[in-house]
Structure 1
Amino acid sequence: MSEVNLQQSRCVVLVGMPGSGKTTVGRELAKRLGLRFVDSDHEIEVRTGVKIPTIFEIEGEDGFRRRETQTLDELTTESDMVLATGGGAVINPINRNLLSGRGVVVYLNVPPHVLWERTRHDKTRPLLQVPDPKGRLQQLYVVRDPLYREVAHIIVEGGRGTPHAMVRLIEKELHDLCAH
């Protein structure tokens, strides 16, 4: 787990696999903390004027990842927000440094079988449009879990309970972290 710098701006960053609840939990957490909510994938779509699957189709994953790094670099300099990142944001070491160095990072850790249940009918996730999306989720989890843990200041075990319960747990962890 990352060391937290309590002099950081009030930026809470949510990381985790596709389907872990970053957007849903992030919206509610922002409301509870009185902060604004930003979804980095949505921000990329607004800036480019196209949906992420289109970016993947035209520029490939590398092109998307370059856009993601630029967007995260800009967003993490802002304060008073809850930022939900894309599931693969932690792949790039530059992104990991940006996230852990500029905000308090919360990893929503959800088991792959739960992720599969949540995402199996979602056709908007480019990396899951493969012959074996369940196997692909397992592979991605194996690669990404250590990277999420590397940047996280707080790890929340998800998959059970409601988004509201996860928000309460994150609030408690944030309070405990800031009390030290």
Structure 2
Amino acid sequence: MPANKTASNVVLIGMPGSGKSTVGVLLAKRLGLGFIDTDLLIQQEAGRTLQDIVDGDGYQALRRIEEQVLLRLEVQRQVISTGGSAVYSEAAMQHLKADAVVVFLDIPLGVVLERIGDYSARGISRRPDQSLEDLFTERYELYSRLADVAIDCVGKDHEEVCDAVLVALARARAAR
């Protein structure tokens, strides 16, 4: 349950390939909210792609820029699709949680690998020596701990995931 029971935003967290951007757009349409993709905000601020940031300045630079973008975000009535590494910033996540229900789109590693293919071109924030499997394990704990709601996305298309999020949000509201 979110700390702020009158939360106006919905924040989507999860691994790359979990459907945050696609489900976020669907969810925003169904809820009559705006939609923000923070990966796009990061690229706009930096003037380059996520991969260019990682290649040129390293994964920690991407995380720093992401944290700054998230901490400056002052919005209401938005569905916010975060980058997969947003959960590394406790400060940014607490800032988002102040006015949001945080929803973890949970997919298994096999689905991540299947959906993202060549992850070296995805602008994924990870240590150079870190495998995708290790990254998945590391982030899974963070996603699970920070989420108010987790949605099992296995076997569901984007519309079905959106439906599951709507049901979970209605339950959260009813429990207030």
Q: Calculate the TM-score normalised by the size of structure 2.
A: 0.90
Kindly report which structure 2 residues correspond to 1:38-53, keeping only aligned pairs within 5 A, or say none.
38-53=36-51
Which stretches in structure 2 are left out of the alignment for 5+ residues? none
Q: Which residue identity lines up with residue 111 of structure 1 in the other structure? A: P
Are 2:160 and 1:160 equivalent residues in the alignment?
no
1:107–1:155 contact (8 Å) kept in structure 2: yes
What is the SS of the residue equivalent to 1:171? Answer: helix
What is the SS of the residue equivalent to 1:107? Answer: strand
Measured after TM superposition, the shift of residue 50 of structure 1 is 1.0
Q: Which residue identity lines up with residue 95 of structure 2 in the other structure? A: L
Q: 1:7 to 1:96 in 2, by over 3 A?
A: same
Q: Distance in 1 between matches of 2:120 and 2:155?
A: 24
What is the SS of the residue equivalent to 1:140? Answer: helix
Extract structure 1 runs of 4+ deviating beyond 6 A.
128-132
2:67–2:92 contact (8 Å) kept in structure 1: yes
Q: Distance in 2 between matches of 1:165 and 1:129?
A: 30
Measured after TM superposition, the shift of residue 52 of structure 1 is 0.9
1:128–1:137 contact (8 Å) kept in structure 2: no
Of the three residues 136, 140, 145, the one matched with 1:141 is: 136
Q: 1:97 to 1:116 in 2, by over 3 A?
A: same
Measured after TM superposition, the shift of residue 128 of structure 1 is 8.4
Q: Distance in 1 between matches of 2:118 and 2:124?
A: 13
Measured after TM superposition, the shift of residue 37 of structure 1 is 0.9
Q: Distance in 2 between matches of 1:131 and 1:85?
A: 22
Of the three residues 12, 22, 25, the one matched with 1:27 is: 25
Measured after TM superposition, the shift of residue 73 of structure 1 is 1.2
Q: Distance in 1 between matches of 2:125 and 2:107?
A: 16
Q: Distance in 2 between matches of 1:164 and 1:3?
A: 24
Q: Which residue identity lines up with residue 6 of structure 2 in the other structure? A: Q
The percentage of aligned residue pairs carrying the same residue is 34
In the alignment, which residue of structure 2 is the partner of 1:81? Answer: 78
Q: Distance in 2 between matches of 1:131 and 1:117?
A: 21
In the alignment, which residue of structure 2 is the partner of 1:105? Answer: 102
Measured after TM superposition, the shift of residue 121 of structure 1 is 4.1
Q: 1:122 to 1:59 in 2, by over 3 A?
A: closer
